[in-house]
Structure 1
Amino acid sequence: MTLYAWPKQAAFGRVVPKSKIYEHAAVSAALKERFVQQVEQINWAYKLAPETVNLPATPAVAEIQVFRISLKGASLDHEVLKAIDRAIPFPLIFELVQSGRVKLVAAYKRPAQNPGSTADISHWVLSSYFETDWQLESSPRPPLPVALDMAGLYEQLLSPLVQGRVASATEDLRTPPSQVHDVAAVGYTAGAPATQPKRLTLEQHIELAEAIVSQQKQVERIRTRLGREKQFNKRVAINAELRDAKQELQRLMQQQTASQRN
């Protein structure tokens, strides 16, 4: 996964006190404790805006903010990121930093259908969070991807994270190869017309990625139930349920693969 070389002219470099996040995001006492235990420092590192990246704003994406969060340990609760997202009325890209390593994390953040004010965070909608693997801070960083406007840049920044989430979710699918072959064949019945898939928007890609992750978890839950069940007739029923769940997961994965080729 790519770590980008943020433009020098976009450098902002302001430390954000945790108390400011608490004020603007209505943080509970329990969540404050997670901030204290997990976060060393929050730095508003870069401001990607028309005047700093020479791209026109769009109604959905006027600016993109890059926050660097120094961690006390190796993990960070996504509720902490959500609180920061709620406090800042712009799309955010997070760089998490810990012991010479860094990873990118972000949720797709978009205005609600009928926002009263773009400055009111209650009018923003967040997807789940997508993240890269840890990389060395010294890893090479290419320049920002080419885009026509701020919305296009935002899509280019988020797309690798979304694709990575799907890859990591499906790598753990512990299905024997013969079963994968059988399930895959279901989608290609004789006489089925070949259709060219439509190009998906970023939002559609995210919805599909979240559906794949959710279905993968469903498969694992059913597999766990099957492992615990001892009665033969109930195992037969659960096996049928597991087969259907795997077929649905395979269908979603094929849809994802087809959309990436298009």
Structure 2
Amino acid sequence: MTSSFIPQPSALLFAWPKQAAFGRVVPKSKIYEHAAVSAALKERFVQQVEQISWAYKLAPETVNLPATPAVAEIQVFRLGLKGASLDHEVLKAIDRAIPFPLIFELVQSGRVKLVAAYKRPAQNPGSTADISHWVLSSYFETDWQLESSPRPPLPVALDMAGLYEQLLSPLIFGKDEGGGLRDEKASYISDAPAALYRVGAQAEQSGRLTLEQRIELAESVATQKKEVERINTRLGREKQFNKRVVINAELRDAKQELQRLIEKQAATQSH
């Protein structure tokens, strides 16, 4: 008896509504103009990006959800890549050029992956201060998947901010650390987070973390993993026995802290 494999919808790649289709090609020169791109970064655009498409515009009139002060619209950009890797500075430049939260779909050789950073106004959205500047977290991503994979519809939300959180939350927990397109080494891994978020004691006690707090925790896991790797490298290079004993103790403590953070992250996902 034979059986056939039926592909299941991806939990992270969504079927964007047809009425939200925008379908505009964005010239790289427009990104350069609005993001003050350096010559070196322009070269990365040329080497790594085939085409930039403003694919979908998730807005009150296209998804029938009210805007909020922090999230008026969400834009979906599709980037056709020349290879399997992309420097996150390229994504940062596009994020700087577009004054809305962005979701990126990277496309290459029939495969697609989702990448995004949490993007929020620099000022309190409820104030009258200038909110034209934005703060970015580290970038989070999915694995590569077949572009033909089935996609579920958009998650249910009450407003645009809720939709943004619903889109980002599974992306954050889809990887155990933020940043880095895994086909490349450390030069493609996001550096220190642009924004730090403090976890409130009340939220910790309830076990219910906000999106910002979940991102802080994911970034802490990523930072601690790098620390474990750094200590491991030192240990591998050290030849003197007494110094190896000291480094081993550091490594043990670092691994224990990493385990604590991972367990804390797992606990928040169950709430």
Q: How does 1:208-227 map to 2 (within 5 A)?
A: 208-227=217-236
| Displacement of 1:160 | 1.3
Alignment correspondent of 1:54:
64
Over 3 Å off, 4+ runs: 114-118
Q: How many residues align?
A: 234
Give the distance between the partners of 1:210 and 1:5, measured in 2 at CA: 28
| Displacement of 1:113 | 2.5
Give the distance between the partners of 1:232 and 1:86, measured in 2 at CA: 50
Q: How does 1:93-172 map to 2 (within 5 A)?
A: 93-114=103-124, 116-118=129-131, 120=132, 123-166=133-176
Structure 2 residue aligned with 1:85, among 87, 95, 100? 95
Alignment correspondent of 1:11:
21
Kept in 1: contact 2:139–2:178 (CA 8 A): no
Kept in 1: contact 2:140–2:178 (CA 8 A): no
Please say if 1:228 is aligned against 2:241: no
Letter of the structure 2 residue corresponding to residue 157 of structure 1: L
Alignment correspondent of 2:190:
none
Alignment correspondent of 1:256:
265
Alignment correspondent of 1:68:
78
- Pair 168,45 (structure 1): closer, same or farther in 2 beyond 3 Å: closer
Once the two structures are superposed, what CA deviation does each residue of 1:187-221 show, in whole Å capped at 9, x if it has no partner?
Answer: xxxxxxxx965200010000000000110110011
| Displacement of 1:247 | 1.1
- Pair 255,165 (structure 1): closer, same or farther in 2 beyond 3 Å: same
Kept in 1: contact 2:231–2:250 (CA 8 A): yes
Give the distance between the partners of 1:258 and 1:89, measured in 2 at CA: 34
TM-score w.r.t. length of structure 1: 0.86
Bigger Rg, structure 1 or 2: 1
The CA RMSD over aligned residues, in Å, is: 1.6
Kept in 1: contact 2:169–2:211 (CA 8 A): yes
Letter of the structure 2 residue corresponding to residue 220 of structure 1: E
The unaligned stretches of length 5 or more in structure 2 are 1-10, 180-203
Give the distance between the partners of 2:64 and 2:208, measured in 1 at CA: 27
Letter of the structure 1 residue corresponding to residue 110 of structure 2: G
Kept in 1: contact 2:178–2:222 (CA 8 A): no
| Displacement of 1:164 | 1.8
- Pair 167,109 (structure 1): closer, same or farther in 2 beyond 3 Å: closer
Once the two structures are superposed, what CA deviation does each residue of 1:87-129 show, in whole Å capped at 9, x if it has no partner?
Answer: 00000000001111100000000011357434x3xx2000010
Kept in 2: contact 1:197–1:258 (CA 8 A): no
Give the distance between the partners of 1:210 and 1:167, measured in 2 at CA: 7
| Displacement of 1:258 | 1.0
Letter of the structure 1 residue corresponding to residue 262 of structure 2: M
- % identical equivalent positions: 85
Alignment correspondent of 1:200:
209
Give the distance between the partners of 2:86 and 2:263, measured in 1 at CA: 32
| Displacement of 1:254 | 1.1
Give the distance between the partners of 1:168 and 1:25, measured in 2 at CA: 23
TM-score w.r.t. length of structure 2: 0.83
